[in-house]
Structure 1
Amino acid sequence: MEHLKWHQFKEQLNANTELTLQFQYAEGKWVDAAYHITEVKQAPITSVDCGGVMNAWTEIIVQLYEPLNEQTDRAMKVSKALSIINVVEKALPLHPNAIVKIEFGNSKFDTRQMLPQGFINDGENLIVDLRPDTVQCKANDRGGSCGTPEIAAKPKIQLQNLAAPATSCAPGSGCC
């Protein structure tokens, strides 16, 4: 699956400013309408995979928070989310090709970072459909194998005592 980039995420928001912004984190499970966007993080990642290859990418993580005992019938408008993003981008320019992740959790769902799988426009709402990120092996993606890098087998060497004469040294022969 191709990951959604920050500029694509913002394009969807900008095209739907009058809609209500909803997040679905599992089939039939929604982030409560009282949610807040509490933080937008930009995380440059540098890693070395199991094949010894260095990798680098950037992630933009939008953190959602469900406040306790706060009630509302309607989630925020897309335009309000964009105003929060504009405040963030004035202080921190966000990389347009960064991978977007949404960080969320509540008392029934452990906090995790999820990937927007797509957007659903139902006429009133712009729904961001979230799915858990998966673990991947970059070596497999390159056609290699996942696991410990292969180490070339060292050739076996037969040791010889070059200091000893070619004939065996018998007691009393004078060679010892």
Structure 2
Amino acid sequence: LQNGDLVLPHFHVTEVGSVQKHFIDCSGTLRHENVINFQLFTATDYDHRLSTKKLLSIIELSEEKLGLENHEIEVEYQGDTIGKYGLDFEEGIFILTSTLTDCLAKDKCGIPQEKPRIRLSALQSEESTCKPGLGCC
């Protein structure tokens, strides 16, 4: 996980699915979202280990039976509640990444856009473009 915690080594992949979400946002815009969902589960079988070969066979069977396309992957993993995570791969390690809710229509429902912060030092040029008589001094 992004916080440094590890998925317990005796996890199971209990589901692989294609999840389609058909919805409207707060502005009434019709939207479609498709993700591939993996559900991870840990039980009390502490000696269990999911081999790479077995995981690959689960993925291949899922692709074949469900006709999976190339979509983003979300992972459900049990914490205090069922958490939904994104999936990254860094330096040979899969990392479950935090996901956040967001408004999809900020421009239409009055949520102000975050203004970029600019340092004054970045605005200063090497040479002043202000010259006497231009009215900028």
TM-score (norm 1): 0.56
Of 22, 33, 40, the match for 1:64: 40
Of 103, 126, 149, the match for 2:76: 103
**Within-5 A mapping of 1:110-149:** 110-116=81-87, 118-121=88-91, 126-140=92-106, 144-146=107-109
Of 25, 35, 57, the match for 1:83: 57
Residues 50, 147 of structure 1: 8 Å contact kept: no
How many residues are matched?
A: 111
Residues 17, 62 of structure 2: 8 Å contact kept: no
Q: Which residue of 2 aligns with 1:52?
A: 28
Residues 36, 64 of structure 1: 8 Å contact kept: yes
Q: Which residue of 2 aligns with 1:159?
A: none
Q: CA RMSD in A?
A: 2.1
Q: After TM superposition, where is structure 1 displaced by more than 6 Å over at least 4 residues in a row?
A: none
TM-score (norm 2): 0.71
Q: 1:132 Cα deviation (Å)?
A: 2.2
Deviations 1:31-88 (A, max 9, x none): 11111111101111111011111111211110001012x123x843433211111122
Where relative contact order (Cα < 8 A, 6+ residues apart) is larger, the structure is 1
Over the matched positions of the two proteins, sequence identity in percent amounts to: 25
Deviations 1:80-101 (A, max 9, x none): 21111112222111121x2210
Q: Which has the larger radius of gyration?
A: 1
Query: Residues of 2 paired with 1:135 and 1:101: CA distance?
Result: 14
**Structure 2 counterpart of 1:131, which letter?**
T
Query: Residues of 2 paired with 1:139 and 1:48: CA distance?
Result: 10
Unaligned runs of 5+ in 2: 112-137
